Amino acid sequence: MEVLVGGNDPVSENGRVRVDGRAGLDDTGAPDEMAELARRARTVLASGRTALLTLPCERARGWVGMIDDGGEPLLMARTDGRIARAAHGGRRSWIEVPGHLGERLILTGTLRVVPGPTTQILRRLADLGRTIDPIGAVSEGLAMLAVSVDDVVLCLPPTGQPEQVRRWSSSTVGRRIDLSTYAFAEPDLIDAYAPELIEHLNTRHADQMRQLVSSFGGRHTADQDLAGAYVSSLDRCGINLWRVDATGAHPVRILFDEPLGEPRSLGRELRSLLERAARDAT
């Protein structure tokens, strides 16, 4: 997707980030807090599939497809399009990435062209555990672009809002993140891919989820009264489900044998749990 339309820049003339039309930045924070903000910023970037790209010199703004590459956003664009031409010219750019918990990550830097075939770049990212759309569907005539990040701002949603209804807020104050701290931070890939993983488990592995809650979720009623199981959330250490039976819905927390390192390790942990459940049933 390559759609750019004229729009306001997310950065003011003095270089300060404007959050919904107002300049607001907080550069304070203890080292531990800065490290946590950097980790969360990296996680938001890893979770992103689309981003709002602004090219101030072109006075253009629009949504584009995006992939995370070690803290740098990679964008796919037509080789003969407006974005690619801006990258060849080393244009200044801003990328705004929405997080699934209402965060807003703003990355500033020079837009550049990444050398090499697009399919090869995508395969490299897939080998690192990134979730990549089918590589075979990539057509000719596309260029991979990157933003050389030199400024990072993370805007957090207001506290007290239910996670499922969080949105970018006009009252949000951006927190500028130290570049070196951002560079050395590691994203929580399980958190980043949690919505996709949860949907996959609920739609493609419903029977296995029923088996897990039947074995590890207590015995509220007889197994034949188990109506279903629904994954509500997951993290590196375990999975949260609802066991639905004749007496209602009951929360179930199942711990993994080992903390997950990246999304592909979820399948291994679930197989281990299912094998244990099968042994216990005999």
Q: Which tens digits make up the pLDDT trace of 84-126? A: 999 999 999 999 999 988 899 999 999 999 988 777 777 777 7
Instruction: Determine the Cα–Cα distance for residues 76 and 81; give it in Å rounded to an integer.
Output: 11
Per-residue tokens: 181? 């701290």
* Helices 189-204/206-216 angle, 10° precision: 100
Give φ, ψ of 249 to 5 degrees: -105, 135
Mean pLDDT on 207-235? 82
Band (45; pLDDT cuts 50, 70, 90): very high
Band (165; pLDDT cuts 50, 70, 90): very low
Residue 250: strand, helix, or coil: strand
* Helices 31-47/189-204 angle, 10° precision: 40
Decide the pairing of beta strands 174-177 and 25-26.
Answer: parallel
The residue that leads in pLDDT, 27 or 221, is 27
Per-residue tokens: 201? 């488990």
Running DSSP on this structure, what letter comes out for residue 258?
Answer: S
The residue that leads in pLDDT, 231 or 137, is 231
> What's this model's pTM, rounded to 2 decimal places?
0.80
Most confident of 7-16, 60-69, 132-141: 60-69
Whether pLDDT at 49 is above 80: yes
Instruction: Determine the Cα–Cα distance for residues 233 and 209; give it in Å rounded to an integer.
Output: 13
Residue 180: strand, helix, or coil: helix
Band (225; pLDDT cuts 50, 70, 90): confident
- Strand ranges for the chain from DSSP E: 18-19, 22-23, 25-26, 50-55, 60-69, 72-78, 92-98, 104-113, 142-155, 174-177, 228-234, 238-245, 248-255
Band (127; pLDDT cuts 50, 70, 90): low
The residue that leads in pLDDT, 154 or 174, is 154
List C-alpha distances in Å: 92 to 54, 112, 162, 172, 190: 9, 9, 36, 24, 32
74: which residues sit within 8 A by CB, 6+ positions away?
66, 67, 68, 114, 121, 125, 144, 145, 146
* Whole-angstrom Cα Rg for the chain: 22
Whether pLDDT at 11 is above 60: no
pLDDT in tens, 237-277: 999 999 998 888 999 999 999 999 888 899 999 999 999 98
pLDDT above 90 coverage of the chain, percent: 52
Mean pLDDT on 29-35? 86
Mean pLDDT on 72-94? 91
Q: For every residue of 93-150, which 3-state class applies, written as one string?
A: EEEEEECCCCCEEEEEEEEEECCCCHHHHHHHHHHCCCCCCCHHHCCCCEEEEEEEEE
CB 96 within 8 A of CB 52: yes
